[in-house]
């Protein structure tokens, strides 16, 4: 698996005999039965369309199974009862770091497969870096928000920022839009939200604040939208076939993935792009929590 770098050294020891069935797992939320942070979950017809479109491309029968949450899905992967899983970024990277799964492709939405967590303020603030933060009021989205809380805090903790000194008040506002309004209206000094990145993964092309003038104090990432991960038990040849089929989609597969995942296409999951997020995993606040996928909405033209 060139340029992937997520598999253990003995990946080939699992053999290269293609499975008779490929089992795709998706996690359903208890409230909305959704995946990928979407307000409407996958329908049986959408899952069936994906299975029917993928099977002839890889030469293996494909089936899909729904699980109650990501813990149940990963348990099935670990037991060998599922082969592929659609996962939120933090869940996928933790599983990969434990040597259980291999990230293979990332969906493209709004022309990008990546975003960042940005700490921003009004342009007149007298703060130019995170080390200048002293007793400021910060606006977070919610305790499980990838871009609006978890990643930027983990990155700051990795930079040895003392939150007791940096922040005098920390408030959860419940949404990215509410965080933006809190900062723009002066109810908070700084806020955390998502920013879509350009192809260099260094510059912001659009963000939650839209056209409002702001000062970006820090960015952490890049963060993949979400991840298709494969069990390390899958043969390398099968993993390559799945990756290539999704990157070079035919019309049927493109229609199926668009309907199910709002995906415009896919790119390979490259280690060099994911390593910054891997490095801050140990600093996350979400250890032991039930993780959900919180994906920024598609970019507007």
* pLDDT band at residue 119 under the 50/70/90 scheme: very high
Strands (E), the chain: 21-27, 61-67, 84-87, 101-108, 114-121, 136-140, 167-172, 190-197, 204-207, 215-224, 227-231, 265-268
**% of the chain beyond a pLDDT of 90:** 62
Nearest to 147 by CA among 88, 84, 67: 88
- Three-state secondary-structure class, residue 261: helix
* pLDDT band at residue 128 under the 50/70/90 scheme: confident
Fold of 11-110+225-269: D-Maltodextrin-Binding Protein; domain 2 (3.40.190)
In the predicted structure, residue 215 carries a pLDDT above the cut 90: yes
* CA trace torsion 163, 168, 173, 175 (10° rounding): -40
Average pLDDT over residues 72-89: 93
Q: What is the pLDDT of residue 272?
A: 80
Which residues, 6+ apart, have CB-to-CB distance to 105 below 8 Å?
Answer: 227, 228, 242, 243, 246, 247, 266, 267, 268, 269
Q: What is the pLDDT of residue 111?
A: 86
Q: Are 11-110+225-269 and 114-223 the same fold in CATH?
A: yes
Q: Tens digit of pLDDT for each residue in 238-249?
A: 999 999 999 999
Q: Which two tokens stand for residue 137?
A: 């009021």
Q: What is the pLDDT of residue 286?
A: 55
In the predicted structure, residue 282 carries a pLDDT above the cut 90: no
Domain extents in the chain:
11-110+225-269, 114-223
Distance CA 226, CA 246 (A): 14
The answer to whether 223 and 93 have CB atoms below 8 angstroms apart is no
* pLDDT band at residue 277 under the 50/70/90 scheme: confident
Which residues, 6+ apart, have CB-to-CB distance to 133 below 8 Å?
Answer: 127, 161, 165, 166, 167, 190, 217
Average pLDDT over residues 175-197: 97
Distance CA 90, CA 86 (A): 12
Span of 46-60, 182-196, 216-230, 265-279 with lowest mean pLDDT: 265-279
In the predicted structure, residue 195 carries a pLDDT above the cut 80: yes
User: Residue 79, CB half-sphere, CA atoms under 13 Å: how many?
Assistant: 10
Q: What is the pLDDT of residue 236?
A: 94
Distance CA 145, CA 175 (A): 9
Q: Tens digit of pLDDT for each residue in 4-54?
A: 333 333 444 445 677 889 999 988 753 323 334 444 557 788 899 999 999
Q: What is the pLDDT of residue 293?
A: 36
Q: Tens digit of pLDDT for each residue in 91-102?
A: 999 899 889 999
Report the sign of the C-alpha dihedral through residues 28, 29, 34, 37, in that order.
negative
Q: Which CATH class is domain 114-223?
A: alpha beta
Answer left, alpha or beta for residue 160, where phi above 0 means left and psi between -120 and 50 means alpha: left
Mean pLDDT of the chain: 85
Distance CA 104, CA 199 (A): 19
Q: What is the pLDDT of residue 5?
A: 32
């Amino acid at each position: 698996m060139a340029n992937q770098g997520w598999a253990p050294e003995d990946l080939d020891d699992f053999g290269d005999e293609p499975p008779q069935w490929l089992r795709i797992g998706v996690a359903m939320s208890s409230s909305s039965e959704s995946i990928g942070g979407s307000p409407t979950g996958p329908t049986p017809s959408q899952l069936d369309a994906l299975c029917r479109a993928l099977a002839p491309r890889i030469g293996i029968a494909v089936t899909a199974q729904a699980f109650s949450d990501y813990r149940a899905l990963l348990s099935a992967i670990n037991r060998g009862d599922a082969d592929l899983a659609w996962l939120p970024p933090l869940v996928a990277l933790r599983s990969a770091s434990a040597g259980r799964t291999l990230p293979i492709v990332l969906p493209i939405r709004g022309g990008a497969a990546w975003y960042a967590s940005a700490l921003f303020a009004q342009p007149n603030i007298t703060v130019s870096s995170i080390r200048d933060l002293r007793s400021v009021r910060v606006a977070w989205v919610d305790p499980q928000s990838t871009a609006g809380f978890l990643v930027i805090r983990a990155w700051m903790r990795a930079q040895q920022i003392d939150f007791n000194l940096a922040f005098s008040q920390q408030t959860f506002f419940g949404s990215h839009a509410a965080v933006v309004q809190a900062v723009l209206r002066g109810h908070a000094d700084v806020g955390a939200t998502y920013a879509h990145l350009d192809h260099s993964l260094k510059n912001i092309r659009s963000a939650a604040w839209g056209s409002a003038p702001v000062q970006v104090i820090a960015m952490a990432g890049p963060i993949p939208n979400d991840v298709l991960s494969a069990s390390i038990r899958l043969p390398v040849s099968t993993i390559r076939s799945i990756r290539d089929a999704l990157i070079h989609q035919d019309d049927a597969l493109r229609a199926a993935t668009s309907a199910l995942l709002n995906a415009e296409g896919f790119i390979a999951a490259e280690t060099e792009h994911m390593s910054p997020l891997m490095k801050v995993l140990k600093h996350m606040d979400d250890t032991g929590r039930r993780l959900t996928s919180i994906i920024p909405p598609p970019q507007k033209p």
